[in-house]
Chains A and B, each alone.
Chain A
Amino acid sequence: MHALRLAAIAALVVALCACSKNGMPLGSHGNAAGYIDMDKVIDAHPLHVQLDQLQAQITLLNGQAQNAPVPQTDAQRQAQAQMEEQLAAADQIFQAQMMQRRAYYGQREAAAIAALQAQTSGQATPIGTQLNAQAQKIQQDALKAYGDYQKQLFTADGQHLQAVARQLQQETGLKIAARRAQLEKNETDYQIELAKQSQTQRLNLKTTLEDLNLSQDQRQQAESQLANIETREEAMINSLKSRDNADLKAYEDSLQRDAAARYSAARISAMNDTNDKLKARQKEMNDQLKTQLAGLGTQYQQQVANANAQLENNPKTRAQLDKIHAENQAQYTAEFSKALATYQQTRKQLVAKYSAIGHMQFIDDAALQNEAQQLSEQRRDLYSKIIDQVQAQVGEVARERGVAIVFTSIKGAGHAVDLTDQVIKAIAALPSPSPASSSPDSAPAATSTPLLEPSGSRS
């Protein structure tokens, strides 16, 4: 597709130059065609350094996200899983809080508007008060039902995971007991085998010792031999027991690891199931609310239609409405910024906490992505600013030189005028850009605050 575009433009430049040579006017400002090397011009722009810096920061953030350290041990994996779970929970809480606050301010604004409408139309009670109360009740009921359902699911999850843990503990205990019994039996068999092997020698020595005519030396020698047999056997049995203990410990560790992995899988599965169920319930609830509120909305629309007609033509009321909206929006924005800062701090703390638990530095992917996105937006804005400035300068230069049209992408120049250097000079002569306007070092902008809409219709 790109090749097609370039081919088209090259063809046009040729056609246009033929006309220029014949002295035919092409445009109101001149009769020649020009071109610039846009890449060169942008490279020479004073703000290009900032553009590169922003790109470097974006690349760095992307690199950090891609090269995030991978957990190596079970403990690290478990810490990461718990961290992700906690981050997701924090996100859910933040989103829910903001949804609630948006609804609150929306309703507050709607109530203020309704009161103003009533005042303007001379009615005793604000328009839509009753409908608003109904709408609030519907929303509160729906939220309560959702909260109850959430609690019910969490309780069920807790019980299920307790049962899983008990079962795993039981299984592990039984397996360890069976292995221990097996090893003990082996040790006993070994002990018997050793006793059998030394039985004759032991019997002979004992018989010798029963001889009362035995000299003192001979007695001591026989006793020593007998003791040696006992010591040797004991050492051999102890050695076997040590090996068995080590084996049992390794087996136990392996079973515990396996149980931890199975528990973790069960926990993640339960969490995913619950999240899916909650999402489905939320969608269902939203659909129901939409339908119910749409009905009320229609009634409300009818009630306010007449008042609106009056308000539209009244500049004083109009100003009051704008003031109400601005106040609500400002309060909501302030609250949103505060909550966002707390939320971001919570995320940082969670990452730090689980990094300490896992003895490794975890990365908050979402935060990195968010930061990279903000930088990308800054970069896009800066790029647009550069392009705007370049186009303005191109226009100036073109007018000066009597050039009717300036292309940015050509395949063959023909007789068209190359304005690149002149535009670069014009760009260089521009006043120095203010660093505050688009500095990449400035703190990234907070996540944009969603616009507040009052519940119901606003005149």
Chain B
Amino acid sequence: MTDRRRHHPFFIALPAALALAALALGGCAQTHSRIAVVRVSELEANWPKFQNYYNQLQANYQAISQSKVSPAEKRKALAQFQDEEKRWNDEVTGDVRSAVTDIAKQRNYQIVVTKEGTAYGGDDITRDVMKALHIPEPSPSPK
């Protein structure tokens, strides 16, 4: 079932952000508890900031892989690359977490999960998250 496994080429991934957002709201004291879902793949596909980071990371990785420096220097460059990857990953993850948390608080959602891991249930708040992150709406596909 390779179709369902997303072999994601991205260095940065967003879903971790959503889990954290859910845990932050995981207390069961709310009276209007509900579930929301976010389509992470849509955020990844349309978010210029994410795309820029991804492209830059990919270019950097290629440059390191193809460089003819000594193995020691290559290891050093890779370590720097991984630091950078983590920093940017934390940054975009933090942005999403923050936006999701705000929306969940405003609308009294009890948990927010990724749409990619669910087969049913939850209000889709992807567009709201996109708006909060100033992600442009995808253009409608031509007929």
With a cutoff of 8 Å between Cβ atoms, the chain B residues found around residue A405 in the complex are: 35, 113, 118, 120-122
Given contacts A12-B19, A16-B111, A18-B28, contact A27 B4 (CB under 8 A): no
Query: Across the two chains, which residue of chain A brings its CB closest to B7?
Result: A2
1/0 contact string of B100-136 vs chain A (CB within 8 Å): 0000000000110110111111100000000000000
Of B26, B33, B113, which contacts A25 at CB under 8 A?
A: B33
Q: Of B9-17, B45-53, B58-66, B72-80, which stretch is located at the interface? A: B9-17
CA distance A404 to B119 in the complex (A): 11
Q: Quick one: which of B1, B7, B119 contacts A406, CB cutoff 8 A?
A: B119
Give the secondary structure class of B's interface: loop
B23 within 8 A of A: yes
Is A8 part of the binding interface, using a Cβ–Cβ cutoff of 8 Å?
yes
Number of interface residues of A (CB under 8 A): 41
| Minimum distance in angstroms from A371 CB to a CB of chain B | 20
B43 an interface residue at 8 Å Cβ cutoff?
no
User: CB distance A27 to B121 under 8 Å?
Assistant: yes
Q: Is the CB of B26 within 8 A of A15?
A: yes
B122 pairs with A7, CB closer than 8 A: no
Q: A8-B15, A8-B18, A11-B23 are in contact. Are A1 and B10 (CB under 8 A)?
A: yes
Provide the B1-43 mask, 1 if CB < 8 A to any CB of A, else 0.
1011111101001011011001100101010011100000000
Contacts of A89 in B (CB 8 A): none
Whether, in the assembled complex, A118 has its beta carbon less than 8 Å from a beta carbon of chain B, the answer is no
Contact assessment for A398 and B121 in the assembled complex, using a CB-CB cutoff below 8 Å? yes
**Least distance between B56 CB and chain A CB atoms (Å):** 17
| B18 (CB) vs chain A CBs: closest residue | A8
Given contacts A15-B23, A398-B120, contact A9 B114 (CB under 8 A): yes
**CA A18 – CA B1 in complex, angstroms?**
31
Chain B nearest CB: distance from A414 CB in Å?
Answer: 14
Known contacts being A2-B6, A5-B13, is A26 close to B118, with CB within 8 Å?
Answer: no
Contacting residue for B22 out of A15, A34, A380, A395, CB 8 A: A15
Whether A403 lies near B121 (C-beta < 8 A) is yes
Contacts of B121 in A (CB 8 A): 27, 29, 398, 403-406
Contacts A2-B8, A26-B33, A27-B122: A15 and B117 contacting too (C-beta < 8 A)?
A: no
Residues of B within 8 A of A24 (CB): 28, 30, 33, 110
Which residues does chain A contribute within 8 Å of B33, judged by CB atoms?
Answer: 19, 24-26
Which stretch from A36-44, A78-86, A132-140 is at the chain B interface?
Answer: A36-44
Q: Which of A4, A34, A39, A390 meets B15, CB within 8 Å?
A: A4
A-B residue pairs in contact (CB < 8 Å), sample of 20: A1-B8, A2-B8, A4-B13, A4-B15, A6-B117, A7-B19, A9-B114, A11-B19, A16-B111, A19-B28, A24-B110, A26-B33, A26-B111, A36-B119, A404-B121, A405-B35, A406-B120, A406-B121, A407-B118, A408-B4
Residue numbers of A with Cβ under 8 A of B are 1-2, 4-9, 11-12, 15-16, 18-19, 22, 24-29, 34, 36, 38-39, 42, 380, 383, 390-391, 394-395, 398, 403-409, 451
19 more contacts with CB within 8 A, not counting A9-B114, A24-B30, A407-B119, are: A5-B117, A8-B15, A11-B19, A12-B22, A15-B111, A16-B111, A25-B33, A26-B35, A27-B34, A36-B119, A38-B119, A42-B1, A383-B3, A391-B119, A394-B120, A398-B120, A407-B118, A409-B117, A451-B142
